């Protein structure tokens, strides 16, 4: 029996708004079709959140309201259920394109483009996302088409959230907060890092305010000898008296992430730890004071960097980055020299984390939204060094 | 203060064995250096399991025992702690290569290659993994180097596991089993799918036999109206009397995955469900009976397909794929027509799952190891339809 649509996160009008923004760029550049291959972009433009390893392509045609989603036959039912699109806009390709070194789902995308008579048109591709292999395949099988680079088009559109998206990010942020508080409850000397993670991921799945987490983003629990770097996950160690834990997690709703960092100390904190907390707290609050519509990204970063420096800690990394679907959007950084002018409903992970020596670092961050007059802090967990002594 | 090495999963000799296998191919092809960019390959060749979004490159030089790991400065400490390599083999690149549309870590890799005087040599790249952007950058900044495609070299080496790797996969499989059993305990009418996931991921983190999970692989819980497709994760629904749940999870140890599928029914099973269980069980056992060193992959698949067909269910998808680091290795499929000859210590996810209608499917699978005389089933959870009535 055929499946029917499941509950939709956003109304059809929201997806059409997003698609129309892409189509406006297509019209400006006289591009008849765009092939979207970045999974986050596919989610953004369709509502699809199923996770398949197999090649997928979303083709946006200037002549057609809905895009055409081309994916492995076994993933068609999920696409029908999850996306806003009619069944006729979803095409399953056959099993012979799977697990073959010479063929994949992009061949089905090319077949579709040829079938539409687009072989001699300008076609947009996300070149920054396409592998050399796939790029060669498209060039080879569409020799008369002109490849137009649409790498940054959808990313840029994603940067400005709708109020509907902001609502979902608030839900995700509440889950992040719950994770932070659960960590404070369970981390004690003698428990394994993995056991703390177990309780944290359980909380991230259960969610908050009746809204479950819809995915488990990788949690980063850097403890004890690993607090000098940000990207280890957790280890097989046991937390000890005196262990510091730098935690970075993100609640997720419908693939929208709201990251947050907090630091925990399983003992009385050292002076150095108290000082770096004060420095990052001051930097974070200074940033919040200057972020508003019209502010320049690099200038915000400058305020943050100079504040932490006044407190004796030089921050080497950028002060944040754009967020939304997935942990990070590769668009705007809150980074010295960045000239982006902030606009309402841009969202950032405002990240004060500093890894000052190989064996010492501290993390403090919030997920935030730029507003007309200032900022909305989406994450609301206590902005403190958690002292669990 | 500088960090020191953490506990190592494998001895130095194991990594040198893996690297020597790559170097043998380099010598055959007169390639002076290979740039490894696939994250799973970097893990395989170094022991690094930290997860960073930033560009990284591992350069293997024919003239040097250890490879050179080039990554963002803040990730150096983790690399020192996690990998088998000396500090001198780890190079951090500066922050200006981060969050910049025109520069990234590959520029640091190129600087290193030029510094080594390799600008006019044959250099191996994993072209199937490199984006068009990165490929252009390498071509542009190394105009006199010859790009040699090493896409499949490390993947092929990874296919044959050492006994040390098999031990780790057994540990991962025990975690998978624990997840399957925990799911059977917690899934009841009235609980949310997310709450079941919460308990499952908690179990995957806590691990089994004193060995914690070292990462949470995405769990696929396709329930009720979503059992006709394999790649949705979980939804906001509540499990109901009569709900069927197709669960696909993987315990993970040091990035080695051991996937397993089991199906659960929250009621008396229908005849159709019992019949498809019998079909898949028969197919799986038929496969186990013919898998051994020397068997041909496609012939194994044929036995499996014909067995399920005899039981009234035509399986449309391949019967399995190579596993190891990450859920899937893109090498051998247990697929009709595949001519790979099986060898001892190849490992597969032997996957009988069938999605026979858009609203109906069933899953049953094991992680297995090929032996001289047959097969070792790594996952050991009861091979049954779990009836939770």
Of B151, B201, B327, the CB nearest to A216: B201
A128–B133 CB contact, under 8 Å: yes
Q: What is the pLDDT of residue B28?
A: 97
- Which phi and psi angles does A4 have, rounded to 5°? -115, 170
Mean pLDDT value across chain A:
96
- Torsion sign across C-alpha atoms A30, A35, A40, A46: positive
Report whether pLDDT(B330) > 90: no
Q: Which tens digits make up the pLDDT trace of A102-151?
A: 899 999 999 999 999 999 999 999 998 899 999 999 999 999 999 999 99
Q: Are strands B146-149 and B122-125 parallel, antiparallel or unpaired?
A: parallel
Q: What is the pLDDT of residue A231?
A: 95
Q: What is the pLDDT of residue A272?
A: 97
Q: Which residues of B, range 289-348, sit inside 8 Å of A by Cβ?
A: 316-318, 321, 327-328, 330, 333, 335, 338
A372: closest CA of chain B, how far (Å): 25
Q: Is B176 helix (H, G, I), strand (E, B) or coil?
A: helix
Helix (H) or strand (E) holding A360: strand A360-362
Q: Is the Cβ of A147 closer than 8 Å to some Cβ of chain B? A: no
B326: closest CA of chain A, how far (Å): 11
Tokens standing for residue A69:
């989603």
Residues of B with Cβ-Cβ distance to A214 under 8 angstroms? 194, 233-234, 236
Q: Which of A5-9, A160-164, A343-347, B163-167 has the lowest mean pLDDT?
A: A5-9
Q: Which tens digits make up the pLDDT trace of B121-161?
A: 999 999 988 999 999 999 999 999 999 999 999 999 999 99
Q: Which of A74-83, A93-102, A200-209, B318-327 has the lowest mean pLDDT?
A: A93-102
A81–B225 CB contact, under 8 Å: yes
Q: What is the pLDDT of residue B160?
A: 97
Q: What is the pLDDT of residue B200?
A: 98
Mean pLDDT of A222-241: 96
Q: What is the pLDDT of residue A269?
A: 98
Of A101, A194, A338, the CB nearest to B212: A194
Mean pLDDT of A288-314: 97
Q: What is the pLDDT of residue B99?
A: 84
Mean pLDDT of A341-361: 97
B249: closest CA of chain A, how far (Å): 13
Burial of A9 (0-12, 13-18, 19+ CB in 10 A): buried
CA nearest to B206, candidates A44, A383, A199, A302 = A199
Of B1, B73, B225, the CB nearest to A3: B225
CA A226, CA B81: separation in Å to the nearest integer?
A: 8
A212–B229 CB contact, under 8 Å: no
Confidence of residue B194 (pLDDT cuts 50, 70, 90): very high
Report whether pLDDT(B100) > 90: no
CA B246, CA B264: separation in Å to the nearest integer?
A: 7
Of A216, A229, A355, the CB nearest to B216: A216
Q: Are strands B220-223 and B244-253 parallel, antiparallel or unpaired?
A: antiparallel
Domains in chain B with CATH codes = 12-158 (3.40.350.10), 160-387 (3.90.230.10)
B202–A206 CB contact, under 8 Å: no
Q: How many CB pairs under 8 A join A and B?
A: 227
Of B194, B213, B231, the CB nearest to A194: B213
Q: What is the pLDDT of residue B10?
A: 98
Q: Is the Cβ of A186 closer than 8 Å to some Cβ of chain B? A: no
Report whether pLDDT(B240) > 90: yes
Residues of B with Cβ-Cβ distance to A132 under 8 angstroms? 127-128, 130-132, 135
CA B241, CA B190: separation in Å to the nearest integer?
A: 8
B353: closest CA of chain A, how far (Å): 11
CA A106, CA A62: separation in Å to the nearest integer?
A: 20
This complex has an ipTM of: 0.97
Q: What is the pLDDT of residue B338?
A: 94
Mean pLDDT of B178-202: 98
Of A98, A214, A333, the CB nearest to B99: A333
Residues of A with Cβ-Cβ distance to B51 under 8 angstroms? 218, 220, 231, 233
Report whether pLDDT(B360) > 90: yes
Q: Is the Cβ of A117 closer than 8 Å to some Cβ of chain B? A: no
Helix (H) or strand (E) holding B283: helix B271-290
Q: Is the Cβ of B105 closer than 8 Å to some Cβ of chain A? A: no
Q: Which of A51-60, A361-370, B18-27 has the lowest mean pLDDT?
A: A51-60
CA A85, CA A62: separation in Å to the nearest integer?
A: 16
Mean pLDDT of B263-290: 98
Q: Is A244 helix (H, G, I), strand (E, B) or coil?
A: strand
How long is chain A?
Answer: 389
First vs last Cα of chain A: how many Å apart?
58
CA B364, CA B230: separation in Å to the nearest integer?
A: 12
B101: closest CA of chain A, how far (Å): 9
Mutation site for A-interface testing, chosen from B1, B100, B198 by largest number of A Cβ within 10 Å: B198
A194–B202 CB contact, under 8 Å: no
Q: What is the pLDDT of residue B250?
A: 98
A316–B74 CB contact, under 8 Å: yes
Put residue A275 in one of left, alpha, beta given phi > 0 → left and psi -120 to 50 → alpha.
Answer: alpha
Q: What is the pLDDT of residue B323?
A: 98
Tokens standing for residue A250:
């993100």
Q: What is the pLDDT of residue B192?
A: 98
Residues of A with Cβ-Cβ distance to B235 under 8 angstroms? 6
């Amino acid at each position: 029996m055929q499946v029917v649509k499941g509950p939709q996160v956003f109304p059809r009008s929201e997806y059409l708004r997003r698609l129309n923004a892409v189509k406006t760029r297509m019209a400006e550049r006289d591009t008849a079709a765009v092939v979207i291959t970045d999974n986050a972009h596919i989610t953004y433009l369709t509502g699809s959140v199923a996770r398949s390893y197999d090649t997928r392509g979303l083709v946006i045609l200037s002549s057609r309201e809905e895009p055409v989603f081309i994916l492995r036959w076994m993933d068609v039912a999920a696409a029908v259920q999850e996306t806003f699109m009619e069944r006729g806009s979803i095409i399953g390709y056959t099993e012979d394109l799977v697990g073959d070194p010479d063929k994949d789902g992009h061949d089905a995308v090319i077949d579709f483009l040829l079938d539409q008579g687009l072989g001699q048109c300008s076609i947009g591709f996300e070149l920054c996302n396409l592998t050399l292999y796939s790029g060669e395949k498209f060039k080879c099988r569409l020799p008369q088409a002109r490849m137009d680079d649409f790498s940054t088009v959808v990313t840029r559109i994603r940067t400005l959230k709708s109020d509907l998206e902001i609502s979902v990010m608030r839900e995700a942020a509440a889950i992040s907060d719950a994770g932070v508080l659960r960590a404070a409850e369970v981390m004690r000397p003698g428990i394994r890092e993995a056991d703390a993670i177990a309780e944290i991921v359980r909380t991230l799945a259960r969610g908050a305010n009746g809204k479950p987490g819809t995915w488990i983003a990788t949690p980063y629990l850097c403890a004890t000898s690993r607090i000098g770097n940000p990207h280890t996950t957790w280890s097989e160690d046991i937390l000890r008296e005196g262990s510091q834990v730098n935690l970075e997690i993100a609640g997720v709703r419908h693939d929208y992430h709201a990251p947050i960092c907090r630091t925990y100390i399983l003992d009385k904190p050292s002076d150095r730890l108290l000082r770096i907390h004060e420095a990052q707290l001051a930097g974070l609050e200074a940033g919040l004071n200057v972020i508003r519509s019209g502010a320049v990204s690099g200038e915000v970063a400058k305020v943050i960097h100079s504040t932490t420096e006044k407190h004796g800690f030089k921050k080497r990394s950028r002060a944040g980055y754009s967020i939304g679907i997935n942990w990070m959007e590769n668009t705007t950084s809150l980074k010295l020299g960045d000239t982006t002018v902030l606009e309402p409903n841009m969202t950032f992970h405002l990240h004060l984390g500093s890894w000052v020596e190989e064996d010492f670092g501290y993390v403090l961050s919030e997920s935030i939204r730029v507003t007309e007059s200032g900022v909305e802090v989406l994450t609301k967990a206590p902005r403190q060094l958690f002292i669990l002594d």
